[in-house]
């Protein structure tokens, strides 16, 4: 019978429609649940202590590191490199080693740089000291430091080479040592032993890690003569609090301070 056939057809249609509607509702509910779980995880990440999350090795850390890799690629890799190894010719530090200009590589310290930057002219940027330009009549605009002659600069360069075990002219290195410990005021920022001061971002001059150039006499002499004041823009403003924490945990997870920390059992 024709009428009965069309009746069952519309019943089928109605059932199909009902199935589609319930599928859509189900998908929406699942999506909302996922979104809520994501928000809850973000809130937990921000509530927690960054270094406790870093030490935990838990699910919260793993998802933060995954997301942080994306933040890094977008906002930091252009300078620090895809692998985080920096660029010695441009004064961009390696973020994967255990050598830190500021602090000792804690996740919260990395997060601070990620947010405010270094010499970025933001209100909370790290900008505690610049490397004076000793060839200028007034090497520093903020401190009373006297300038050095080209021969002084060559001598103190030889002393720095001596600290790292590579001096050739010991007499020049000895003269340079006197300048380092007195007239040049180098000790004031880099420490008596040349091991730097991570409270003011003054690098260790006695190790094998160089921010500018590869331990070459010319790059050392140039740092001393012309001064240095590297800038990290930081991502605050453009990046959310969550993204900043994620990128800090990502960098921390890839650095050797984490391995050193794990070895110490901290």
Binding residues for ligand HEC, rule: CB under 6 A, are 75-76, 78-80, 91-93, 95, 100-102, 110, 113-114, 118, 129-132, 134, 143, 145, 156, 160, 180, 184-186, 188-190, 201-203, 205, 210-212, 220, 223-224, 228-233, 235, 247, 251
What is the nearest approach in angstroms of ligand HEC to the Cβ of residue 246? 10
Pick the closer one to ligand HEC by CB: 1 or 150: 150
d(CA 109, CA 245): 11
Q: How far is the CB of 174 from ligand HEC (least distance, A)?
A: 15
CB of 166 to ligand HEC, least distance (A): 13
Q: CA dihedral in degrees (96, 99, 103, 107; nearest 10)? A: 20
CB of 161 to ligand HEC, least distance (A): 10
- Residue number of the CB closest to ligand HEC reads 230
How far apart are alpha carbons 72 and 78 in whole angstroms? 9
Question: Taking the CB of residue 99, how many other CB atoms lie within 10 A of it?
Answer: 22
Query: Please, which residue, 48 or 98, has the CB nearer to ligand HEC?
Result: 98
* CB closer to ligand HEC out of 41 and 198: 198
The distance from CA 13 to its chain's CA centroid, rounded to whole angstroms, is 60
* 107: nearest Cα among 44, 37, 56, 42: 56
CB of 240 to ligand HEC, least distance (A): 12
Backbone φ, ψ for residue 111 (5° rounding): -60, -35
Nearer to ligand HEC, 16 or 171 (CB): 171
Residue 238 C-beta-side C-alpha neighbours within 13 Å: 11
Residue whose pair of structure tokens reads 């740092």 in the numeric block: 223
Contact residues for 110 (Cβ-Cβ < 8 A; gap 6+) = 248, 251, 252
Min separation Cβ 77 and ligand HEC, Å: 8
Q: Which is nearer to ligand HEC, 42 or 101 (CB)?
A: 101
**Alpha-carbon span 24 to 187, nearest angstrom:** 69
Closer residue to ligand HEC in complex, CB, 36/253: 253
């Amino acid at each position: 019978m024709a009428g009965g056939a069309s009746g069952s057809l519309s019943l089928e249609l109605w059932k199909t429609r009902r199935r589609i509607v319930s599928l859509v509702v189900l998908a929406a509910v699942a999506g909302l649940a996922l979104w809520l779980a994501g928000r809850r995880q973000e809130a937990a990440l921000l509530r927690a202590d960054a270094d406790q999350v870093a030490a935990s090795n838990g699910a919260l850390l793993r998802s933060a590191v995954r997301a942080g890799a994306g933040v890094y690629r977008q906002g930091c890799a252009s300078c620090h490199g895809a692998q985080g190894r920096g660029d010695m010719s441009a004064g961009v530090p390696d973020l994967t080693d255990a050598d830190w200009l500021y602090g000792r590589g804690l996740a919260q310290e990395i997060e601070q740089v990620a947010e405010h930057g270094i010499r970025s002219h933001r209100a909370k940027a790290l900008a505690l000291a610049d490397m004076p330009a000793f060839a200028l009549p007034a090497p520093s605009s903020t401190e009373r430091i006297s300038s050095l002659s080209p021969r002084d600069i060559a001598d103190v360069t030889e002393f720095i080479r001596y600290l790292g075990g590579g001096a050739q002219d010991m007499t020049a290195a000895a003269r340079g040592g006197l300048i380092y410990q007195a007239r040049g005021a180098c000790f004031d920022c880099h420490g008596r032993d040349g091991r730097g001061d991570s409270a003011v971002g003054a690098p260790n001059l006695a190790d094998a890690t160089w921010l500018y150039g590869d331990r070459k006499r010319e790059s050392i002499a140039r740092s001393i003569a012309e001064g240095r004041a590297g800038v990290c823009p930081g991502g605050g403003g453009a990046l959310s609090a969550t993204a900043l924490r994620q990128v800090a945990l990502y960098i921390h997870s890839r650095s050797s301070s984490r391995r050193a920390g794990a070895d110490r059992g901290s």
